[in-house]
A and B are shown apart, each in its own frame.
Chain A
Amino acid sequence: EAGVAQSPRYKIIEKRQSVAFWCNPISGHATLYWYQQILGQGPKLLIQFQNNGVVDDSQLPKDRFSAERLKGVDSTLKIQPAKLEDSAVYLCASSLGLAEYNEQFFGPGTRLTVL
């Protein structure tokens, strides 16, 4: 079974530029998550989708971050404009559904460096 795919794996940009990350979840997984993992910390949930609807985006900095999952499969996360403090690994995860026993499967992440 193919895992969660993310691209690019690495990205270096200057502050005030924009950047986009892509995630392809495991086939059949209805729930998709984006996490931000700053160096030395655990992942923090940014946004959670159920199919193509947003379940929770309370921790997404909406002035600069946006995310979509238009067809309920792939998802993109965008940052515009980027700040130095956005340097982090952005993880995508997917699960079959919202039930607590549904394990979340994580992709390898995109490491973003903002100069």
Chain B
Amino acid sequence: AQSVTQLDSHVSVSEGTPVLLRCNYSSSYSPSLFWYVQHPNKGLQLLLKYTSAATLVKGINGFEAEFKKSETSFHLTKPSAHMSDAAEYFCVVSDSGSARQLTFGSGTQLTVLP
């Protein structure tokens, strides 16, 4: 069985300050991990993915995430927030034991203050 816990339902940061969105996962098999972003009235968009290659993964728009197996974590970071980063972010796990289906976390709403 696989599951994802996003530790914060809401995060607020000021523009230009760092962003940290936290995610812990549980998986019975070697997992693939993803971060998706959802802007209002738009489809989910893939930010980045980890598939057992480098543990530090770089994505679009300056986001990156680090896979830490010992901590079962996959936190999303960005050095400097931009107003356009305001959106809902989902941490997602997929493992080979589940026909590679995606299991989504409950989401973190990111607010960026001017």
Partner of A91, one of B44, B94, B96: B44
Contact between A48 and B44 (Cβ–Cβ < 8 Å)?
no
**Cα(A17)–Cα(B104), bound, Å:** 29
Which residues of B are found within 8 Å of A107, using beta-carbon distances? 43
Chain A's interface size range is: 20 to 34
Partner of B43, one of A40, A41, A44, A109: A109
Which residues of B are found within 8 Å of A56, using beta-carbon distances? 99, 101
Interface check A43, CB cutoff 8 A: yes
Contact between B51 and A42 (Cβ–Cβ < 8 Å)?
no
Other A-B pairs beyond A91-B43, A91-B44, A101-B32, 4, CB < 8 Å:
A48-B101, A98-B99, A100-B51, A105-B43
Question: What 9 pairs between A and B have smallest CB-CB spacing?
Answer: A42-B104, A106-B44, A106-B43, A100-B100, A100-B32, A108-B43, A43-B104, A42-B106, A42-B90
